[in-house]
Amino acid sequence: MRFTPIRPPHLRPAVSVTRVMSEVLIALVPATIAYVWFFGPGILINMAVCVTVAALAEAAVLAARGRTALPQLADLSAIVTAVLLAFALPQLTPWWVTATGAAFAIIFAKQLYGGLGYNPFNPAMAGYVVLLISFPVEMTQWLPPAGMDLAGDRPGLGASLAYVLNGQLAAPLSWDVVGGATPLDDVKTQLGLMRTVDEVRSSPLYGDFGARGWEWINNFIAIGGVWLLYRRVIRWHIPVAVLLGVIIPATVFYAADPGHNASPAFHLFSGATMLGAFFIATDPVSAATSDRGRLIYGFGVGLLTYVIRAWGGYPDGVAFAVLLMNMAVPAIDHFTVPRAYGHER
């Protein structure tokens, strides 16, 4: 009897990268629905553009590197990057802006570093930051959420498509009518004009504890995140640390001067806090690796987010915070090697 040689262990993993990535995509479905509910179908168009460009870019680079495209596209990591980037963009973004971001994320931030697993920076955030700096106008034209009378008509699917394709709002609409600042932007500007938080928050832009519409999207993102925790796709250290990194300084400053600092709840449920905590900072490739390292990394992301929001030049800081902490990861990993079994504490 001849037997086939084989190396232990002989049981096989039940998990796969594809499964991990598809769970992340599934976890974003509720938030996507909420997004469409409050802000119209623009995000779906952004997603379509992002996914198409990301997949093409990934396939093109892999072909150029002499690799087969299919197994690597099937890991869905490029799709996750694309969808997360789409979440970060304004609802109506001209397609070339979106495409530039997706292509930069995949080609420069991911594949040129060696592809999946080798990128030191979060590709979606790298793509987003490039767009924020290169297209400051397009990247700051946000729609107000549904339910605000001052907004007039929100663009429907047709109008959205038309804008995405040619960068012009269709005749009756104009950015003066439909556009507006995001609440984070608004708070920043208004506080700069020496108004108090209470005065600012009387605007219909604001909801129960955060920004109108955004607070619900944040809720659904958090629910998706909890589902990922339950499915063990992500672990608790990073999300909890990010949220603490935002809550702690927000609470301190809010307690010290509630008139001039937004509340912790506002910070949690506005902007990209939840997306950052559960979906962006948890990208394992660019995050720290040990439990302790992840707590430090996450806390850093949260803290920097607050710092940039409160004192920086941009209304939201998640993308910059994540990229800055990405830079710190090798150092964090170096100093947080866990104690191995049987070694001195």
The reply on whether position 11 binds other proteins by CB under 8 A is yes
3-state secondary structure of 18: helix
Q: Which is nearer to other proteins, 18 or 168 (CB)?
A: 18
Range 321-340, binding other proteins (CB under 8 A): 333, 337-340
The reply on whether position 70 binds other proteins by CB under 8 A is no
Place of tokens 């992002």: 50
Query: 255 exposed, middle or buried (CB, 10 Å; 0-12, 13-18, 19+)?
Result: exposed
Structure tokens of 209? 């504890």
The reply on whether position 112 binds other proteins by CB under 8 A is no
The reply on whether position 196 binds other proteins by CB under 8 A is no
Q: Find out whether 182 and 315 touch, Cβ atoms under 8 Å.
A: yes
Structure tokens of 259? 């008139």
Q: Which is nearer to other proteins, 66 or 343 (CB)?
A: 343
Q: How far is the CB of 325 from other proteins (least distance, A)?
A: 14
Range 138-177, binding other proteins (CB under 8 A): none
Q: How many residues bind other proteins (CB under 8 A)?
A: 44
Range 213-272, binding other proteins (CB under 8 A): 235
The reply on whether position 5 binds other proteins by CB under 8 A is yes
**Among residues 25, 60, 244, 285, the one that binds other proteins under rule CB under 8 A:** 285
Q: Find out whether 86 and 50 touch, Cβ atoms under 8 Å.
A: yes
**Among residues 287, 308, 322, 323, the one that binds other proteins under rule CB under 8 A:** 287
3-state secondary structure of 231: coil
Structure tokens of 90? 């304004």
The reply on whether position 8 binds other proteins by CB under 8 A is yes
The contacts of residue 162 (CB under 8 Å, 6+ apart) are: 168, 169, 170
Q: Which is nearer to other proteins, 57 or 310 (CB)?
A: 57
> Residue 150's CB: how many other CB atoms inside 10 A?
10
Q: Which is nearer to other proteins, 72 or 273 (CB)?
A: 72
Calculated CA dihedral for residues 294, 297, 299, 303, nearest 10 degrees: -170
Q: Find out whether 168 and 193 touch, Cβ atoms under 8 Å.
A: no
Instruction: Return residues touching other proteins (CB under 8 A).
Output: 1-17, 19-20, 71-72, 75, 77, 114-118, 235, 284-285, 287, 289-291, 294, 333, 337-343
